[in-house]
């Protein structure tokens, strides 16, 4: 049974249909990539999944429950975590304190300082940021701020982790570590990522969903998507030579 499905999911902004009648299913434990040209509706779609915006029509079902009208903070409690396309860290807090905020959310009963610290350091270690725990987030490089966001998402112990352009700003050496990290995350969670870096997508994704003009143009394995003529015309050929 899918972990998450959408039926006829749509979102209009004035006369523009950013997401147009999307039927989508995500299986537990898979790594799914969403690709497509700029303006294809990818970020709007995952914003609908996470509850940051409300749909104009259609429904979102998570683990058998209709969450279409559920606010984002309640989806987080169900296990849906979303890291933003634009970094959303607190610049004036240390990396440690940024991660401590979501950790405290997960430890509702009688949390101790020791438990919070252990949760924070585990998330920072997994993302390779443990040695920067005391650094102000605003002083981290852009790439490390992106990783800090992933650490904040991981600290929520999500069942579904949605990553929006996570490798943007990462150095090539960091991208290899990121790929290993996502594979490790997928042992305990489902991962949905929007990603422009096609080598990363082809290495990581079990399946790929291609958006174009607010609709799903194609879905399949990396091999199927690479061989799909429509996808090449709409996206791969146009932006990747």
Distance, CA of 35 to chain centre = 12
Bigger pLDDT: 111 vs 153:
153
Domain-embedded: residue 152: yes
Residue 134: the pLDDT is: 97
Domain span at 121: 29-49+71-240
Q: Is residue 16 part of a domain?
A: no
CATH of the domain at 153: 3.40.50.300
In a domain, 21, yes or no: no
Is 17 domain-assigned? no
Residue 123 belongs to some domain of the structure: yes
Which tokens hold the place of 39?
Answer: 């303006």
Q: Check residue 33 and give its pLDDT.
A: 97
Of the pLDDT bands very low, low, confident and very high (cuts 50, 70, 90), residue 209 is: very high
The pTM score is 0.88
CA distances 214 to 16, 98, 162, 171, Å, are 10, 34, 18, 31
In a domain, 221, yes or no: yes
Res. 201 pLDDT band, cuts 50 70 90: very high
Asked if residue 124 is part of any domain, the answer here is yes
Structure confidence at residue 106 as a pLDDT band (50, 70, 90): confident
Q: Answer yes or no: is pLDDT of 111 > 80.
A: no
Give per-residue pLDDT as tens, 32-85.
999 999 889 999 999 999 999 999 999 999 999 999 999 998 998 899 998 865
Phi, psi of 49 (to 5 degrees): -65, -40
Q: How many domains does the chain have?
A: 1
State residue 93's pLDDT score. Answer: 96
pLDDT given for residue 13 in this prediction: 93
For residue 191, is it within any domain? yes
């Amino acid at each position: 049974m899918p972990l998450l499905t959408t039926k006829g999911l749509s979102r209009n902004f004035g006369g523009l249909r950013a997401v147009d009648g999307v039927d989508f299913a995500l299986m537990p434990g898979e790594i799914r990539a969403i690709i497509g040209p700029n303006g294809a509706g990818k970020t709007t779609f995952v914003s609908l999944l996470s509850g940051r915006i409300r749909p104009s029509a259609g429904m979102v079902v998570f683990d058998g429950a209709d969450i279409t009208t559920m606010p984002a903070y309640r989806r987080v409690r169900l296990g849906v975590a979303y890291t933003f396309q634009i970094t959303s860290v607190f610049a004036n807090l240390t990396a440690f304190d940024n991660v401590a905020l979501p950790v405290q959310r997960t430890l509702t009963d009688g949390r101790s300082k020791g438990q919070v610290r252990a949760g924070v350091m585990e998330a920072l270690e997994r993302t390779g940021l443990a040695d920067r725990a005391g650094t102000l987030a605003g002083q981290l490089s852009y790439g490390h701020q992106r990783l800090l966001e992933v650490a904040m998402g991981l600290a929520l112990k999500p069942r579904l982790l949605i990553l929006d352009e996570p490798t943007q700003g990462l150095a090539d050496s960091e991208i290899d570590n990121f790929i290993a990290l996502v594979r490790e995350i997928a042992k305990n969670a489902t991962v949905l990522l929007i990603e422009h870096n096609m080598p990363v997508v082809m290495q990581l994704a079990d399946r790929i969903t291609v958006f174009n003009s607010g609709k799903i143009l194609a879905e399949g394995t990396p091999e199927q998507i690479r061989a799909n003529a429509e996808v090449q015309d709409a996206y791969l050929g146009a932006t990747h030579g």
